[in-house]
């Protein structure tokens, strides 16, 4: 991470590591906390709930996987940030369910730049409508964008999408949507995080490179 930051002329602390702990047992998460890693990403609300109880209050939790609207109430309670807001309806649900929080729920809008069928995320043309809708919300704050490019073992092939997302964020920032910041770009996983940092990522989602290979599961997502 530090080397990639230096190559891009950035400070190493400008990018945070989200340790993706899906399927990782709480004892190993506690070991990571003792080593200084306090920010963790989970893919499923139910799994995160049990882990938070086991790990304790010192860890910070982000939801990095797809969020179904019927799970938004619990997600608004459990997580500091949701990386995967992919519809206007979900944004409204989270705003309603975050009303009891002490601090606003942070959210990133997931963008599907490649228009991949079956993949979650809003299109470029839908993004302004969602950001404009955030203006009147008091319990949720949009902090940036997230992308999950098509899987490719060659990191350089992901660079164009990372660059395009950073350019899109800059464009949205210039439009000055109320209650919207573009300070966070969630992009980059185990095989391509260095390229993502070089293109401006502020949150990289790393699972396998930290915790090793996971047992195969249905609808497996890389991290």
Give the pLDDT confidence score for residue 217 in this predicted structure: 55
Q: What is the CATH code of the structural domain delimited by 2-211?
A: 3.20.20.10
Q: Which of 25, 3, 45, 4 has the alpha carbon at shortest distance from 187?
A: 4
Using CB atoms within 10 A of its CB, is residue 156 exposed (0-12), middle (13-18) or buried (19+)?
exposed
Q: Which long-range contacts (CB under 8 A, 24 or more apart) does 63-70 make?
A: 64/18, 64/20, 64/186, 64/205, 64/223, 65/22, 65/221, 66/120, 69/93
Low-confidence residues of the chain, pLDDT below 50? 218-220
Q: What is the pLDDT of residue 223?
A: 59
The pLDDT, as a whole number, for residue 115 is 79
| Amino acid 220: pLDDT | 46
Which pLDDT score, from 0 to 100, does residue 222 have? 54
Which pLDDT belongs to residue 216? Answer: 63
């Amino acid at each position: 991470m530090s080397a990639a930051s230096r190559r891009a002329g950035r400070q190493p602390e400008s990018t945070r590591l989200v340790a993706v702990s899906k399927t990782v047992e709480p004892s190993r998460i506690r070991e990571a906390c003792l080593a200084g890693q306090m920010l963790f990403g989970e893919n499923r609300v139910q799994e995160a709930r049990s882990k938070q109880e086991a790990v304790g209050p010192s860890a910070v939790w982000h939801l990095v996987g797809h969020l179904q609207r019927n799970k938004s109430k619990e997600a608004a309670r459990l997580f500091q940030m949701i990386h995967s807001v992919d519809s206007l309806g979900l944004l409204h649900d989270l705003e309603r369910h975050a009303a009891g929080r002490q601090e606003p729920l942070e959210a990133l809008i997931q963008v599907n730049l490649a228009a991949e069928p079956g993949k979650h995320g809003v299109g470029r043309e839908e993004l302004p409508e969602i950001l404009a809708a955030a203006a009147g919300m008091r319990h949720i704050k949009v902090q940036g964008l997230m992308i999950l490019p098509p899987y490719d073992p060659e990191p350089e092939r992901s660079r164009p999408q990372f660059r395009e997302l950073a350019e899109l964020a800059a464009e949205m920032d210039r439009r000055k949507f109320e209650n919207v910041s573009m300070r966070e770009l969630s992009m980059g996983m185990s095989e391509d995080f260095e390229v993502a940092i070089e293109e401006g990522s502020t949150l990289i989602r790393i699972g396998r490179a930290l915790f090793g290979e996971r047992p195969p599961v249905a609808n497996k997502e890389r991290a």
